[in-house]
A and B are shown apart, each in its own frame.
Chain A
């Protein structure tokens, strides 16, 4: 049973380009969480998705950022028209059930986004 798979590990974009970050949860996990870790800062919650539904996007910037978790395929975090301030490590985590039910969380290795 492979762990949470994120790709790419490193992504370099120029200002104004689009960034697409992918996350394949562990087998049997239908709950996906995205977190961002800015340089020298702690992790911050961005969005929580359950298959085909966004449950909580309270941590996601209102503009340029979107997330999806389709019925088939990985969850995608999309950042349009990237700016230098978007440079960060983006982590995905998955669980079998909601965290509030005390489910254990499994993290991917993260995608390091660098905006030139």
Chain B
């Protein structure tokens, strides 16, 4: 079982729909990242969370540390939001290890 599980794996929706992507993890973490990977391969960091909720434009990310769960929401989705969305956690090790552990990503397609 992966330490980071995302759902759904694939999601196709119509322009304007409200999108939710979920991420569950099984280890203690110091922070969680949401990343966006465009069809060309480039990766952009969208959010970094250690508690609560963050909003940037039409994107909202929430995290529940007790339940080990995070969600990424997209309001008023647009075809340009089509990308792979990746959840990644920094496992809390207390030591020098600092590498991210990634989910396999959610492939989102927004149709016009």
Contacts and interface: CB of A to CB of B under 8 A. Distances in A.
A28 interface: no
Contact of B98 (A55, A91, A109): A55
Contact of A99 (B40, B98, B103, B104): B98
A103 B33 CA distance: 10
Contacts of B40: 109
B42 interface: yes
Interface string B90-112: 10100011111111110000000
Given A43-B86, A107-B44, A102 B98 contact: no
Contact of B43 (A58, A59, A107): A107
A91 B92 CA distance: 23
B102 A42 contact: yes
Given A43-B86, A104-B48, A109 B97 contact: no
Given A42-B105, A43-B86, A99 B100 contact: yes
Residues of A in contact with B, size category: 20 to 34
A106 interface: yes
A41 B45 CA distance: 19
A96 interface: no
A26 B35 CA distance: 18
Nearest to B45: A105
A35 interface: yes
Given A41-B104, A102-B31, A56 B99 contact: yes
B52 interface: no
B39 interface: no
B50 interface: yes
A33 B96 CA distance: 13
B99 A33 contact: yes
A89 interface: yes
Contacts of B90: 99-100
B62 interface: no
